[in-house]
Amino acid sequence: MSNEARHAVVEALVELARSPDHRDRADAGRGLAGFAEMPEAREPLLRLVLDGGDTFVTRVTAEALLRRQDPSGLAVVASALAAVGPDRPDHLDWIHTAVLDVFTVFSGERDAAVRVCEELARGSDEQVRRGAGLLIDALAGIEPILRPARGG
């Protein structure tokens, strides 16, 4: 896909993210997660993870970002974790549910996510650094179902 087409898709998804209908915002979150590496997608994704209208939007957007299993997706989720205050316990619960759903099966995926978060925790963005620490704590509390086979 050309850069021009990618920007057009992100622009359309950002517009969809402004919808009053939570289903539209959830669809926008899922779609925008695929473009999380693009600077113009970051703020709309953060707003969707912290959606004030429906925690379903929070849940599906956070999960889509985490399923990327890369610095772009993990940074947005980390930033959201740092931004969630005590007045939003439901958001915190749904973000943690997404973390569990994505990283409970394979230990290698969980361990790789921890390594990415450790890198994010050394970055220049204070909010991402704080959130990466929270995300590391959440990941450390997961006991994955499947581990690599032991040799010999």
3-class DSSP state of 120: helix
- Whether the CB-CB separation of 74 and 113 falls below 8 Å is answered with yes
| Cα–Cα distance for residue pair 96/132, rounded to 1 Å | 13
DSSP string for 77-113: HHHHHHH--TT-HHHHHHHHHHHHHHHSSBHHHHHHH
Domain spanning 3-140: CATH 1.10.3470: no
Phi and psi torsions of 7, nearest 5°: -65, -40
Model pLDDT for residues 101-137, shown as the tens digit of each residue: 999 999 999 999 999 999 999 999 999 999 999 999 9
Cα–Cα distances (Å) from 16 to 25, 32, 58, 127, in that order, read 6, 10, 15, 26
| Cα–Cα distance for residue pair 85/140, rounded to 1 Å | 21
Query: Domain segments of the chain: what residues?
Result: 3-140
**pLDDT at residue 152 greater than cutoff 60:** no
Model pLDDT for residues 41-76, shown as the tens digit of each residue: 999 999 999 999 999 999 999 999 999 999 999 999
Residue 16 corresponds to which tokens in the numbers above? 């969809």
Residue 5: burial class (beta carbons within 10 Å; 0-12, 13-18, 19+): exposed
pTM of the model: 0.95
State the amino acid at position 74 in one-letter form.
Answer: L
